[in-house]
């Protein structure tokens, strides 16, 4: 009797799952406060040069970027105008909020410091995903989830004390260590213990609601506490709540199975049955342990799949490379669409808060349409439509006066953010279903690592806006068009038996046309035309396994 059969008897959508979803929501709120803290602390308000207090001031300027960085002063000795670089600025602080850019005056010639410091956040994300992913395989999903969350909070706390670029970069690096893993490890715990029929609804709706709440309250929280330093303290404090997780959550049973701890896995299921008020005969757990002991004996006769095996055969290699590229594109697009809020004619704090509401309709969109048009259709459409909206936003920013058309620009920013969220959420589930079960954990980790490594450039892409405001939008729209086209080369996963081994993955979706979508009838060959898996294995001498790794 396998894990899913026993979980069904113990309860796959009972009281324990509701508690699990509640803490998953809390983790999503922590994740949103943590990830977007770098946005909240670094908004640059409108500012003007504060020239030296001399009567010879001839003029100093107004609206252009260069005018904010220098002023014109009459030189009585040379009898001519002289351009002088600003040494201080007058900032139009919103509600008196002191950001890091206003306190340390990281503008004009020092504007690069913010981009450099924030880029270390993504360097930390790459190393943190590798380290905590390894740690999760060594000590378990639950303790690793707690450690990564506390590490991110520690990084934010350290950042709140810095006043120079080197220490700011160090603080952002430590903060970035937990960026992906604090969410993904909790996602895995919910994924494993939740009924397959409820996963799409439960995972996406809970994430949409709680992530949305975290985003919408964060700017107002910043106004309330007054300074970026106080905001980091307040945003990091709730992370201490994860210390209570072991009191109500159980370790991943599937992880315990991969570690051959069959009795501990059975004990977790017993406790879930008790929590859910289910009476399960002890013979069920005996059969469960016996099943995996026998499975272990069979596994010892086979060669385990490895992630590098995905690069050895042509179709899996193509899928893997495309997933890597898609992860790069979506990570950068998601980050920039979420952070590029300035110069739209409306307060960036309010715009960030209001457009944060898009996470809720984005989650509902996934629930309503992903099971109808399919994973490929959802991924492709969200990127394609998002690219059009982003390109249109860039065009409007270039041609409209933000002061007169703030509502239109704000609406377009919200639409772009909506498309980015749908694309990000759709990509996560799509990639998890394409990667064979035997290497899914390692595969998802590696794909996220590559995505966050490329996210290093997002701060610099946003910085391009200081030269020409629409440049970030134009750049991102081109990337999203490329991502949409790449989606068409991947197989559909809806209503299919997902690949278990590398051999299964190599023939998965074979016979489909690039234009096949479940809501249409064309583009897919019949099952009879699909090559036999055993034949493919024999021909390519691919290693096989029956090990089931955590998704």
Q: Which residues pair with 85 in a beta bridge?
A: 70
**pLDDT per residue over 119-150, tens digit each?**
898 888 888 888 887 788 788 889 999 999 99
Q: How many Å apart are CA 141 and CA 186, to the nearest integer?
A: 8
Q: How many Å apart are CA 10 and CA 121, to the nearest integer?
A: 42
Pairing of strands 89-91, 80-85: unpaired
User: Which pLDDT belongs to residue 535?
Assistant: 37
User: Which pLDDT belongs to residue 208?
Assistant: 82
| C-alpha distances out from residue 99 to 91, 220, 225, Å | 10, 14, 11
- Contact between 188 and 194 (Cβ < 8 Å): no
User: Which pLDDT belongs to residue 66?
Assistant: 44
Q: Which helix (H) or strand (E) holds 83?
A: strand 80-85
Q: Which two tokens stand for residue 467?
A: 């030269």
User: Which pLDDT belongs to residue 394?
Assistant: 85
Q: How many Å apart are CA 326 and CA 464, to the nearest integer?
A: 22
- Contact between 410 and 355 (Cβ < 8 Å): yes
User: Which pLDDT belongs to residue 21?
Assistant: 93
Q: How many Å apart are CA 438 and CA 420, to the nearest integer?
A: 30
Q: Which of 455, 461, 449, 542 is nearest to 499 (CA)?
A: 542
pTM tops 0.85: no
- Please name each of the domains of the chain with its CATH number: 1-38+108-301 (1.20.1250.20), 47-91 (no CATH), 302-551 (1.20.1250.20)
Q: How many Å apart are CA 326 and CA 333, to the nearest integer?
A: 10
Residues whose CB falls within 8 Å of the CB of residue 154, separated by 6 or more in sequence, listed in order: 174, 236
- Contact between 159 and 171 (Cβ < 8 Å): yes
Q: How many Å apart are CA 322 and CA 324, to the nearest integer?
A: 5
What string of H, E and C letters represents the secondary structure of 421-458?
HHHHHHHHHHHHHHCCHHHHHHHHHHHHHHHHHHHHHH
User: Which pLDDT belongs to residue 372?
Assistant: 82
The string of DSSP codes covering 168-237 is HHHHHHHHHTTTTHHHHHHHHHHHHHS-GGGHHHHHHHHHHHHHHHHHHHHHHHHHHH-BHHHHHHHHHG
Q: How many Å apart are CA 537 and CA 296, to the nearest integer?
A: 22
What tens-digit pLDDT sequence spans the chain (551 residues)?
788 889 899 998 889 999 999 999 999 999 989 988 888 898 888 888 876 544 444 444 443 444 567 777 766 766 667 777 888 888 888 888 999 999 998 888 888 888 888 889 888 888 888 888 778 878 888 999 999 999 999 999 999 999 999 999 999 999 999 877 888 888 888 888 888 778 777 877 888 889 889 888 999 999 999 999 999 999 999 999 999 999 999 998 888 887 888 899 999 999 999 999 999 999 989 898 888 888 776 655 544 667 788 888 899 899 999 999 998 999 888 888 887 787 787 888 888 888 888 888 888 888 888 878 888 888 898 899 989 988 898 888 888 888 788 888 888 888 888 888 888 888 877 887 888 877 776 777 788 778 877 877 887 888 788 778 888 888 999 999 999 999 999 898 887 877 877 888 888 888 788 777 777 765 554 433 344 333 333 333 333 333 333 33
User: Which pLDDT belongs to residue 160?
Assistant: 93
User: Which pLDDT belongs to residue 539?
Assistant: 36
User: Which pLDDT belongs to residue 246?
Assistant: 92
Distance between start and end Cα atoms, the chain: 20
User: Which pLDDT belongs to residue 480?
Assistant: 92
Q: Torsion over CA of 88, 89, 95 and 97, rounded to 10 degrees?
A: -40
User: Which pLDDT belongs to residue 18?
Assistant: 93
Q: Which two tokens stand for residue 437?
A: 């079960």
Q: How many Å apart are CA 89 and CA 95, to the nearest integer?
A: 18
């Amino acid at each position: 009797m396998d894990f899913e059969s026993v979980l069904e008897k113990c309860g796959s959508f009972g009281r324990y799952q509701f508690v699990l979803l509640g803490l998953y929501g809390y983790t999503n709120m922590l994740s949103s406060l943590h990830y977007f803290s770098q946005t909240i602390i670094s908004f640059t308000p409108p500012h003007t040069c504060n020239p030296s207090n001399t009567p010879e001031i001839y003029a100093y300027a107004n609206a252009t970027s260069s005018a904010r960085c220098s002023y014109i002063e009459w030189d009585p000795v040379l009898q001519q105008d002289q351009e002088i670089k600003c040494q201080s600025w007058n900032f139009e602080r919103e509600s008196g909020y002191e950001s890091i850019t206003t306190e340390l005056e990281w503008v004009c010639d020092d504007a690069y410091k913010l981009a450099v410091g924030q880029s270390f956040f993504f360097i930390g994300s790459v190393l943190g995903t590798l380290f905590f992913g390894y740690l999760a395989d060594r000590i378990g999903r639950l303790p690793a989830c707690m450690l990564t969350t506390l590490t991110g909070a520690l990084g934010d706390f350290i950042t709140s004390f810095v006043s120079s670029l080197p220490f700011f970069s160090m603080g952002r690096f430590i903060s970035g260590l937990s960026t992906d893993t604090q969410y993904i490890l909790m996602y895995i715990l919910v994924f494993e213990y939740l009924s397959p029929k409820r996963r799409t609804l439960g995972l996406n709706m809970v994430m949409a609601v709680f992530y949305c709440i975290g985003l919408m309250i964060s700017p107002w929280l910043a106004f309330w506490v007054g300074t970026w330093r106080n905001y980091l303290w307040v945003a990091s404090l709730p992370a201490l709540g994860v210390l209570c997780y072991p009191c109500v959550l159980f370790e991943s049973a599937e992880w315990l199975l991969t570690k051959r701890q069959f009795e501990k896995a059975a004990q977790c299921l017993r406790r879930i049955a008790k929590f859910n008020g289910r009476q399960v005969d002890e013979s069920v757990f005996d059969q469960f342990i016996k099943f995996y002991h026998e499975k272990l004996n069979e596994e010892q006769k086979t060669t385990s799949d490895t992630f590098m095996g995905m690069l050895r055969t042509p179709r899996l290699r193509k899928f893997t490379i495309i997933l890597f590229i898609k992860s790069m594109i979506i990570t950068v697009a998601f980050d920039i669409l979420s952070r590029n809020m300035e110069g739209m004619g409306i307060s960036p704090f309010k715009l960030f808060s209001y457009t944060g509401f898009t996470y809720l309709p984005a989650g509902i969109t996934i629930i309503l349409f992903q099971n109808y048009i399919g994973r490929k259709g959802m991924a492709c459409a969200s990127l394609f439509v998002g690219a059009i909206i982003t390109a249109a936003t860039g065009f409007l920013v270039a041609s409209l006066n933000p002061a007169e058309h703030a509502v239109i620009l704000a609406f377009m920013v919200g639409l772009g953010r909506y498309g980015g969220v749908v694309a990000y959420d759709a990509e996560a589930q799509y990639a998890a279903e394409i990667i064979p079960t035997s290497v899914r954990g390692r595969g998802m980790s590696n794909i996220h690592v590559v995505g966050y490594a490329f996210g290093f450039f997002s701060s610099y892409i946003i910085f391009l806006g200081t030269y020409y405001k629409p440049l970030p939008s134009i750049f991102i729209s081109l990337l999203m068009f490329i991502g949409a086209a790449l989606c068409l080369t991947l197989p559909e996963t809806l209503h299919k038996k997902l690949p278990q081994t590398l051999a299964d993955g190599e023939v998965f979706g074979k016979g489909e046309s690039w234009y096949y979508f479940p809501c249409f009838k064309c583009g897919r060959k019949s099952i009879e035309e699909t090559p036999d898996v055993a034949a493919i294995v024999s021909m390519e001498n691919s290693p096989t396994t029956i090990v089931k790794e955590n998704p």
